[in-house]
């Protein structure tokens, strides 16, 4: 198992990969927080609709549950112009900090691991990784880039309209 620190990257075996994300707090995904996948280009401009925990896209498929979220990515099926996918974790409607997760543990293809201690993190959303293509090779980069005002605010910053409210409680 290769353990990646934020900023480190590694090659993926191919364009089809899977990942699993565990939270240090039980039952956080789906009720308090969620995961988003943003297909973007090299300048982080959006290239299609985001994949949200309650809204799949044709290039991915969710699995798992409230304690651990999983996903199968088909990177060769990303929208035209996309050469990367940002993996974000966010609190619905930016209603609290991600420190409530305590920690995150991401495993990619069962041989890459990225861990984050969030106990001192006051952000409402965080980019924890990036899948990207360089020289015809798909790679994964471990990240820890926060957004104080949540997923919607991050989306506006890159030109993407995204609703980060809870899907069953759209008023907030």
Domain at 107, CATH number? 2.60.60.30
Full-model pTM: 0.95
Residue 84 in any domain: the answer is: yes
**Which residues have a Cβ under 8 Å from the Cβ of 8 and sit 6 or more positions away?**
141, 142
Residue 133 in any domain: the answer is: yes
Residue 62 in any domain: the answer is: yes
> In Å, how far from its chain's centre is CA 157?
17
Residue that the structure tokens 């090299």 belong to: 42
The total number of structural domains in the chain stands at 1
With contact defined as beta carbons under 8 Å apart, do 128 and 144 qualify? Answer: yes
Residue 170 in any domain: the answer is: no
Q: What is the pLDDT of residues 50-68, one digit of tens each?
A: 999 989 999 999 999 888 9
Please tell me what DSSP assigns to residue 168. T
Give me the mean pLDDT over the 30-44 stretch. 96
Given a cut of 80, is residue 19 above it in pLDDT?
A: yes
Residue 43, phi then psi, degrees to nearest 5: -95, 10
Could you list the residue range(s) of the whole structural domain that residue 107 is in?
Answer: 2-156
Amino acid 171: pLDDT: 64
Residue 8 in any domain: the answer is: yes
Q: What is the pLDDT of residues 64-90, one digit of tens each?
A: 988 899 999 999 999 999 999 999 999
Q: How many CB atoms lie within 10 A of CB 6?
A: 15
């Amino acid at each position: 198992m290769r353990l990646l620190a934020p900023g480190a990257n590694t090659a993926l075996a191919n364009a089809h990969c899977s990942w699993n994300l565990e939270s240090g707090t039980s039952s956080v995904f789906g009720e308090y927080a969620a995961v988003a996948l943003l297909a973007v280009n090299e300048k982080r401009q959006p290239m299609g609709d985001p994949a949200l925990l309650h809204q799949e896209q044709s290039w991915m498929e969710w699995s798992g549950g409230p304690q651990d979220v999983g996903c199968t990515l088909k990177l060769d099926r990303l929208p035209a112009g996309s050469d990367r996918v940002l993996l974000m974790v966010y609190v619905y409607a930016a209603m609290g900090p991600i420190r409530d997760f305590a920690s995150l543990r991401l495993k990619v293809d069962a041989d890459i691991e990225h861990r984050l201690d969030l106990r001192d993190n006051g952000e409402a959303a965080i980019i924890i990784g990036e899948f990207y293509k360089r020289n015809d090779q798909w790679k994964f980069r471990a990240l820890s880039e926060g957004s104080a005002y949540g997923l919607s605010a991050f989306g506006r910053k890159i030109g993407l309209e995204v609703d980060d409210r809870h899907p069953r409680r759209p008023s907030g």
